[in-house]
Structure 1
Amino acid sequence: MNILISTDQIYLHGGIEKVMATKVNYWANLPDTKVFIVTTEQRENAPCYVLDYKVKLIDLNINYDRSKSYFSAHNLKKSLSHFRRQKKLFKELEPDVIISPNINFDHYWLPFIKEKSKLIKERHSSRYQEADRRKSASFLKGIKFRLDDWIDSRYDHIVVLNEDEKKYVKSDNAVVIPNPVALTDLRADLSKKQVIAAGRLSPVKGFDDLINAWAEVHAEFPDWQLHFYGQDYLGTQAQLQKQIEVRGLNRSVFFKGNVDNLPETMTHYSIYAMTSETECFPMVLLEALSVGLPVVSYDSPHGPKNILLNEQDSFLIPYKKIDIFAVHLKKLIADERLRRKFGQEAIKNVQRFDLLNVMKKWEIVFH
């Protein structure tokens, strides 16, 4: 079997890239299986996550200008080269399965150049906010949404990450397959006076809410620290840093940048914290649970509640309730025995998403 993943790049740290690496490394070691990752703008960068040597990397060297609209003259011209090169490559490789894990230009033409391949679209972000936008959409926006729905219907399967997201697929080709996690022997210390949060530093991650909650925590536990891991996006880190300074948290909250092995980094912390606006199926929660790290998280639409077991391995907090979040974060900080109890349950509960169990679901879809 030839499996081809069509994406933009694999050199930036992110959930899609991490999940992709986990899956392709598994597939590459199956008998009689070849795996290709085809990118449009890798720009000669090395992959950010380790890939098995059997995974073949091909860059089409399109290099869209992401600072411009998809429909700018500059990018539309590049899309023509993208179409031609991709179609030619598909004929050469003859993939049995094509997987598109994000929205790129080729989302709109893949159903029409796939030939005999099975075509799968993965949705890694929640459509919760889009559902509200659809209700008040203008005439032109409404046409765009109907076009998107029709294109979705031309895929063999739309893979969503949880049952809540399935209702946003307007066609009858939706399949639920959660993200997998590779189980590990790594274990969180849980005695460290440190809390970790991770993800791209963008507004959707709601780190401003976490900083506001931390101000309440810091007043009671000034010897504890909050560390953020992730890459800056559109100057968000500078805005958050100003907020930290205004709240007088300069010696308590720190940005740590990217790391290649987040689970290993998590072992030096006692709690994972999440205050995202939306989450579909965050890998960071799976990784936190896998090392026995207790979690305090908003009940963000729709991912955390499909992963966490409230008051077993975590505290699942009503959405956007900063004061309640702070109370439960302080409760875990104050009680190391409770942290260890949650950590033990986390290691048990995350086995639901073990790599082998999840990849069996993919095998069913392939065949």
Structure 2
Amino acid sequence: MRILLARIAPLYGRNGGMERVEARMADAMVQRGHSVGILSMDELPGKPYFSIHPDVHMFNLYDYMNHSFHDVQYKLVREIVRPFSKRSALRWRNKGRAAAYKSGMGKVLAAFQPDVIVSFDAESSAMFFDSVPDLNIPLITMFHFPTDIAVNWEDSDEQKALLRSSCVQVLMDQDIQTLKKRLPHVTAVRIPNVVPQWSPIADLNQDKSVYTIINVARLEKNQKRQYLLVEAFALLADKFLNWNVEFWGSEPDGGTEYTAELQKLIHDRKLESRVFLKGNSSDIHSHYVASDIFAFPSAFEGFPLAMTEAMSAGLPVVAYKDCPAVNELIENGKDGYLVENGVKPFAEGLQKLMKDRELRSRMGQQAHNAMKQYAPESIWNQWENLLRNVVHLNHTRGN
């Protein structure tokens, strides 16, 4: 098959979960004998953060566009209707993008001639269908967040794109239920993310001079909420003098505002020698196996790559019980603790693990075992079967 992985958004330099999934999927499908292309929209020069298989065909939509085209008229109408109807403003925005992208989309599809398109979000799917109204290539829309967040439900084009998709792939069982309530006629399937099967895993039975609580995520205030871990650890630091906290990750697009805010909070709590902002790492596995607890104070997730990778590496987790996806992946009291909202409950969850090495070791082993169901071979088999099925169905219908 010729598989086009597409997200009409910047790719260069981005190190988020979607970009990691894209790189892994491209590599897996190339190794299975398929021809793979990646479509992005990068106006500035650069290269992908994650390694891309050398046989993958890279397409930057910006390079294929007609840059003499200007969508001034669409922007003008959009601003006129915006005060009266947000939906209408979105529709005119979409019309402008479709007109701007139309020639470029056609050139990319003609150059690669995909059998199937895997769109990495509903917005990109809408752009495909708006730009190429007679698209006769099967398109699968991926969700990387919970259903309520993965789609702009005020944008009718995104909803239409989901209904036109050959299939919508979601990450958790709850996502299908929520999606079907909104769009009863949509075709949807659950395929989780791949979780690497790490070896070796953390040895939590060893005696250490310093123990580590680790958090791996982009530095982001509203979703990832690293500040809650700082505040929770501040309640425990004086009781557990041989424990530290490490944050691995950075702000997207070179931002520094939230980083500075975290640094100030660490300073205000007098934790400069105990809590560290470590930046990015190309070998995160080594940091997992050197740690003892994975702390994850996110507000919402789709299928958290960092958390599941930490579990695969043998770390027990502390997270919030109302965080979507997280609360389906962690079995409370077995491979981690799901706690109520707030700083104090999070600190209490951490304390249970910090004071009991045997408990940490047992729960870490159970976390490792729980992630075996998401092994690459199993997940990529599910993806390959889905891709083959939609291509076969499309051929059967005569497209």
Q: What range is the shorter-chain TM-score in?
A: 0.7 to 0.9
Does the CA-based 8 Å contact 1:317-1:325 persist in structure 2? Answer: yes
Does the CA-based 8 Å contact 2:168-2:187 persist in structure 1? Answer: yes
Matched AA of 2:136: K
Matched AA of 1:6: A
- In the alignment, is residue 158 of structure 1 matched against residue 168 of structure 2? yes
Shift of 1:176: 1.1
Shift of 1:115: 2.9
**Matches of 1:184 and 1:116 in 2, distance apart?**
41
- In the alignment, is residue 265 of structure 1 matched against residue 299 of structure 2? no
Matched AA of 2:318: V
**Matches of 2:64 and 2:135 in 1, distance apart?**
25
Shift of 1:42: 7.0
Instruction: Quote the residue 1:182 is aligned against.
Output: 196
Shift of 1:34: 0.1
Instruction: Quote the residue 1:168 is aligned against.
Output: 178
Q: Deviations over 1:54-102 (max 9, x none)?
A: 22222223699xxxxxx968x9877644332122211221111111113
- In the alignment, is residue 196 of structure 1 matched against residue 214 of structure 2? yes
Distance of aligned partners of 1:359 and 1:298 in 2 relative to their CA distance in 1, 3 Å threshold: same
Matched AA of 2:288: M
Structure 1 alignment gaps of length 5 or more: 65-70, 132-140
- In the alignment, is residue 226 of structure 1 matched against residue 236 of structure 2? no
Cα RMSD for the two superposed structures: 2.7
Q: Deviations over 1:93-119 (max 9, x none)?
A: 111111111355x43231352733210
Instruction: Quote the residue 1:123 is aligned against.
Output: 143
Percent identity at matched positions? 25
Instruction: Quote the residue 1:331 is aligned against.
Output: 352
Instruction: Quote the residue 1:313 is aligned against.
Output: 335
Does the CA-based 8 Å contact 1:289-1:350 persist in structure 2? Answer: yes
Does the CA-based 8 Å contact 1:209-1:322 persist in structure 2? Answer: yes
Does the CA-based 8 Å contact 1:41-1:63 persist in structure 2? Answer: no
Instruction: Quote the residue 2:36 is aligned against.
Output: 35
**Matches of 1:92 and 1:188 in 2, distance apart?**
47
**Matches of 2:43 and 2:195 in 1, distance apart?**
25
Aligned residues: 348
- In the alignment, is residue 95 of structure 1 matched against residue 114 of structure 2? yes
Does the CA-based 8 Å contact 1:197-1:229 persist in structure 2? Answer: yes
Does the CA-based 8 Å contact 2:59-2:108 persist in structure 1? Answer: no
Does the CA-based 8 Å contact 2:144-2:150 persist in structure 1? Answer: no
Instruction: Quote the residue 1:296 is aligned against.
Output: 318
TM-score (norm 1): 0.86
Shift of 1:181: 1.5
Shift of 1:25: 1.0
Shift of 1:145: 4.1
Q: Find the residue that maps to 2:303 and give its secondary structure.
A: coil
TM-score (norm 2): 0.80
**Matches of 1:109 and 1:19 in 2, distance apart?**
21
Distance of aligned partners of 1:87 and 1:297 in 2 relative to their CA distance in 1, 3 Å threshold: same
Does the CA-based 8 Å contact 2:142-2:170 persist in structure 1? Answer: yes
Structure 2 alignment gaps of length 5 or more: 66-73, 77-92, 390-399
Which of 365, 368, 371 is the matching residue for 1:350? 371
State which drifts further: 111-120 or 55-64: 55-64
Q: Deviations over 1:218-271 (max 9, x none)?
A: 121133111111112452111122222222222211111111232232122111
Q: Deviations over 1:292-344 (max 9, x none)?
A: 111111124311122222222111223x2321221120121111111111121
Q: Find the residue that maps to 1:228 and give its secondary structure.
A: strand
**Matches of 1:176 and 1:167 in 2, distance apart?**
11
Distance of aligned partners of 1:127 and 1:78 in 2 relative to their CA distance in 1, 3 Å threshold: closer
Does the CA-based 8 Å contact 1:10-1:47 persist in structure 2? Answer: yes
